[in-house]
Chains A and B, each alone.
Chain A
Amino acid sequence: DIQMTQSPSSLSASVGDRVTITCRASQSISTYLNWYQQKPGKAPKLLIYAASSLQTGVPSRFSGSGSGTDFTVTISSLQPEDFATYYCQESYSIPHTFGQGTKLEIK
């Protein structure tokens, strides 16, 4: 199985900050990398697919980049509604492994 490692595991930031979360795959996955946002008690929501494509309806302050093994998602200016847990996920091979999550908290 491909292992997906996110860093950091948790992050404290303030409204208006620029934040970057990193995801590393244990082998090359081209651009088969997706990012999700999950709020407590809710289902994950797709933010970014194919490493850098913004899902319909997702604010443009979210952006993704990377290919191969190293990927990032950046929030250009944090808004109150962005405090949540973020997961990366590879869709290159079964079992489409998710990262362990990055919890973004208010400083």
Chain B
Amino acid sequence: QVQLQESGPGLVKPSETLSLTCTVSGGSISGHYGSWIRQPPGMKLELIGYIYYSGSTTYNPSLKGRVSISVDTSKNQFSLKLSSVTAADTAVYYCAKKGGKTKGYAFDYWGQGTLVTVSS
């Protein structure tokens, strides 16, 4: 059973960079997509972007320019960096595995989520 776990600071100051890491266990990240999805309090889910194990990335255009996702296959991890954060970036951040064509490209496994608050 694949499991994902987010880690990183829960508090980030405005204008600084939010950094999170997702560690995958119970399976290899190779051959798969790792995704970041966020949910502001009381709001709907929003895709931030995803990365193929080879390093190819796709980002939500609304965040492009501020977001960077990287992968470390040797550690079975992928990471998120979101720069120049504001209070609007306060959200629960989830990492998730994106299934391939046979799973309709759905997000089939999720981490438990981590709340990141942007505040001075």
Q: Could you list which residues of chain A lie within 8 angstroms of chain B, going by C-beta atoms?
A: 31-34, 36, 42-46, 49-51, 53, 55, 87, 89, 91, 94-101
Q: How far is it, in angstroms, between the C-alpha of A97 and the C-alpha of B60 when the chains are bound?
A: 10
Using known A-B contacts A49-B99, A87-B44, A94-B61, determine if residue A55 contacts B108 with beta carbons closer than 8 Å: yes
B13 smallest CB distance to A (angstroms): 26
Given contact pairs A46-B107, A95-B47, enumerate 15 new A-B contacts (beta carbons under 8 Å).
A31-B104, A32-B104, A43-B110, A43-B111, A46-B108, A51-B104, A55-B106, A91-B104, A94-B58, A94-B60, A94-B61, A95-B61, A98-B44, A99-B44, A100-B44
Contact: B45 with A49, CB < 8 Å? no
Q: How far is it, in angstroms, between the C-alpha of A50 and the C-alpha of B46 when the chains are bound?
A: 19
Contact: B113 with A89, CB < 8 Å? no
- Interface size for B (C-beta < 8 A) is 21
Query: Using a Cβ cutoff of 8 Å, how many contacts connect chains A and B?
Result: 63
Bits for B79-120, please: 1 = Cβ < 8 Å to A, else 0: 000000000000000101001000111111011110000000
Chain A residue with the shortest CB-CB distance to B59: A94
Query: Is B62 located at the chain interface by the 8 A CB criterion?
Result: yes
Q: How far is it, in angstroms, between the C-alpha of A91 and the C-alpha of B102 when the chains are bound?
A: 12
Residues of A within 8 A of B112 (CB): 42-43
Using known A-B contacts A43-B94, A94-B60, A94-B61, determine if residue A49 contacts B108 with beta carbons closer than 8 Å: yes
Contact: B47 with A96, CB < 8 Å? yes
Contact: B62 with A89, CB < 8 Å? no
> Among A34, A36, A44, which residue has its beta carbon within 8 angstroms of that of B104?
A34
